Amino acid sequence: MKIKSAEIVISAVKPDQYPDAALPEFALAGRSNVGKSSFINKLLNRRNLARTSSKPGKTQTLNFYLVNELLHFVDVPGYGYAKVSKSEREAWGRMIETYFTMREQLKAAVLITDLRHPPTADDRMMYDFLKHHGIPAIVIATKADKIPKGKWQKHLKVTKETLDVDPEDPIVVFSSETGEGKDKVWALFQEYMDR
Ligand code: GDP
C-alpha cells in the first residue's frame, strides 16, 4: 500500500477514548523489545512514528494510528518486561481484555515474535488469549535478517509449533531492516479488510 498519511490520533486507556470511526483496525501486540515499533514504522514508511512506550515509568496506552484515512493501527503496549509491578501488569491485562473483547472494528490481531527464538510463555499466553476470544491473528516472525535465510523455515516451524498456530492464521517472516515480508503483510491486511 502506498502510504499517503499516517498520524497518531489518540493514546487511549479506556473505551470512551477509542476513535469513533468505523474504520477497519489492526492491533499490534508483542513482547517488549521484540521489534513492534520498528514493524509499525517499516509498514508506514516512517522513521520514528511509533516509539517504544513499554518501558517502566511510561504510561501504558493503546496508541491509535490513522493510516491513509482508511484504517487504524493500534499499538498495544508490550508485555513480558520483568520489572513491571503486579498492579501495572493487572492494569495492562484489564485494558487489553476490554479492548480485544469489545472492539467491533478489529479485523485481526498481529502478534509479533522473534524468528530467532522460540516464542516465550508470554507469547503463548497472548496467542491463546486471542484464540480464546475467537480473534483472527496474523503472526509476524521478525528480525529475520539476524539469521541466515537457509534457517528461516526451521525457525518458522518452531514458532508455529510452540504457539500451536491455528491453520487459519497466517505467519509471515519479516525484517524491519530489509523490508522482507512487508508486501505480504499489506496484502494480508487488504484481504482482512475485504472480509
Ligand atoms: P519494541 O519494544 O517491540 O517496539 O521494539 P523496537 O522496535 O524498539 O526494537 C527493539 C530493538 O530491536 C531495536 O534496537 C531495533 O533496532 C531492533 N530491531 C527491531 N526490528 C528489527 C529487525 O527486523 N532486524 C534487526 N536487525 N533489528 C531489529
Q: What cell was used for 105?
A: 472494528
Q: Which amino acid is at 49?
A: L
Indicate which CATH number applies to the domain containing 91: 3.40.50.300
Q: For residue 128, give its domain range.
A: 6-194
* Ligand 1 lined by 77 (C-beta under 6 Å): no
CA-CA distance, 85 to 93, in Å (whole number)? Answer: 12
Domain count, the chain: 1
Confirm whether 89 is domain-assigned: yes
Confirm whether 11 is domain-assigned: yes
Confirm whether 1 is domain-assigned: no
Confirm whether 147 is domain-assigned: yes
Confirm whether 159 is domain-assigned: yes
**ipTM score for this prediction:** 0.99
* Ligand 1 lined by 35 (C-beta under 6 Å): yes
Q: How far is the CA of 39 from the centre of ligand 1 (A)?
A: 8
Confirm whether 96 is domain-assigned: yes
pTM: 0.96
Confirm whether 185 is domain-assigned: yes
Confirm whether 73 is domain-assigned: yes
Residue whose CA lies nearest to ligand 1 atom number 15? 35
* Cβ contact 43:71 at 8 Å: no
pLDDT by residue (tens digit) across 24-64? Answer: 999 999 999 999 999 999 999 998 898 765 555 566 899 99
pLDDT by residue (tens digit) across 61-79? Answer: 999 999 999 999 999 999 9
* Cβ contact 110:50 at 8 Å: no
- For residue 112, the ligand 1 atom closest to its alpha carbon is 3
* Cβ contact 64:74 at 8 Å: yes
Residue whose CA lies nearest to ligand 1 atom number 19? 35
Q: How far is the CA of 38 from the centre of ligand 1 (A)?
A: 5
